[in-house]
Amino acid sequence: MSITANPLPPLRSFPFSRSPNGRNPRVTMVIRSTTGVSVSTALPILTKLQKDCATPLPLLRNIADAMAKDMRDGLEVDGGSDLKMILSYVDSLPIGNERGLFYALDLGGTNFRVLRTQLGGKDERVIDTEFEQVSIPQDLMSGTSEELFDFIALALAKFVKKEGGKFVLPKNRSRETGFTFSFPVKQTSIDSGILIKWTKGFAVSGTPGRDIVACLNEAMGRQGLDMRVSALVNDTVATLAGARYWDNNVMVAVILGTGTNACYVEAVDAIPKLQGHNSISGRTIVNTEWGAFSNGLPLTEYDREMDAESINPGEQLFEKTISGMYLGEIVRRVLLRMEETGSLFGNYIPERLHTPFALGTPNISSMQQDTSPDLENVGSILYESIGVDSNLDARKMVVEVCDTIAKRGGRLAGAGIVGILQKMEEDSKGIVFGKRMVVAMDGGLYEHYPQYRRYLKEAVTELLGPELSSHVVIEHSKDGSGIGAALLAATNSIYEH
């Protein structure tokens, strides 16, 4: 039997086995004088964990209400709540009549992706699409702004040279691209934004405080590439646009992968902090940055310890309870406590059980998929990831721990979605829940963890009730952000379609 029951998740969907704070992991091996495995002594730890992680309907209602309130407060004034409620300046969404050749550049980690698509209007829609993925050399992640963006622009120029076949640029036009940039940015228009700071291991000099689009445009000019950025967006906004192209009822998009975020379509007149912005459609997309939400979350001692040791203590608490970066680490901390207290796995504690992030969320997802009588796959994953031997009783206990953490995460994410829908319903005077409403989902956690996905949908149904929830469609939009960025370049083109 293979070590993993599921295919490997896509890049940037789940964390690698590492500590996000960059600290060296503690290396400890404790030899016990006792022998054998004691599941009964670990049972009180599991019972307390299940109690602390419980998400009964009243708690979920409070979470949804608090999410809606924080959204409203964040729209009132910058800093009004934990949610930043960032204005995307995306006022025009794709409607299907877009025509022409458009590109997309997706930069959000140690790799970036370049994509082109030929759009044929309402009759032909997407005629063809091609993409390539490029790895960024480690030295450029801590180099200068010019070095990084010259490298990106050169790769984009090489990709453009391969253009042909069904990809045709209309005469007398420059190429246009959407730019998906998943780092903290203060958006100033649809095609400009100031980089606040680098994250995810980047420390590029000369870029923070500058317009990130200008950095790319200048680099493309240095490479002799005739292309301009028509739309600057993050991956959540691009996902919404990509899904909306195929379904006009898409109003919300959620990313559930290594990290998490959500955005939605908002009426411009419902954003008090938006001054002097004219929108022909009367609507825009708001990026909630909901990972920072914190009100009323059911946190355990393991969550608090993990948060205290993170690079951003007290921040991103919603993300730390529902996203793929952290679920496996919470499980590891629980198992370590069970081993230290009750000798769950035998007569010693392996070094890797002490290593932060040694147990990843793909591991706990795969363990929950094991339906064999002896849970052989669970045993293999435990041995390969954290170096422990286990008997059947211990494996059953591990699966219970995984399920407890996944259930809490999925149900909290579902409550967050309902909170967004509630806020939209309150402002639209009761028409949101009366019609078909689509929530586009993307990210490896949602795609590859069926139990998590089921718990999320169950929470939405419980909160809304069977009648209202029947109008809410939660739909997977795989890799929607790439095509979405190209579509936003089309809708914001300087040329007529």
Query: Residue 326: what residue type?
Result: Y
Query: 289 Cβ partners below 8 Å, 6+ apart?
Result: 83, 84, 85, 86, 261
Say if CB 39 and CB 393 are below 8 A apart. Answer: yes
d(CA 173, CA 226): 9
Q: List the catalytic residue out of 69, 158, 200, 457.
A: 200
CA distances for 154 relative to 149, 160, 490, angstroms? 8, 10, 23
| 162 a catalytic residue | no
Q: What does the DSSP assignment read for 248-276? A: TTEEEEEEESSSEEEEEEEEGGG-TT--S
Query: Residue 219: what residue type?
Result: A
CA distances for 170 relative to 223, 483, 490, angstroms? 22, 20, 13
Q: Which H or E element spans position 129?
A: strand 126-135
Residue in 69, 128, 16 with CA at minimum distance from that of residue 362: 16
| Residue whose entry in the numeric block shows the structure tokens 């960024």 | 136
SS3 of residue 418 by DSSP: helix
Residue in 27, 88, 437, 447 with CA at minimum distance from that of residue 235: 88
d(CA 18, CA 356): 7
Query: Residue 104: what residue type?
Result: A
> Dihedral through CA 281, CA 240, CA 201, CA 312, nearest 10?
80
Rg (CA), the chain: 24
| 200 a catalytic residue | yes
CA distances for 247 relative to 233, 250, 433, 437, angstroms? 20, 6, 17, 10
Q: List the catalytic residue out of 70, 235, 307, 370.
A: 235
Query: 221 Cβ partners below 8 Å, 6+ apart?
Result: none
d(CA 124, CA 128): 10
Query: 144 Cβ partners below 8 Å, 6+ apart?
Result: 204, 205, 206
Say if CB 228 and CB 158 are below 8 A apart. Answer: no
Query: 384 Cβ partners below 8 Å, 6+ apart?
Result: 3
- Any idea which residues carry the catalytic annotation? 200, 235
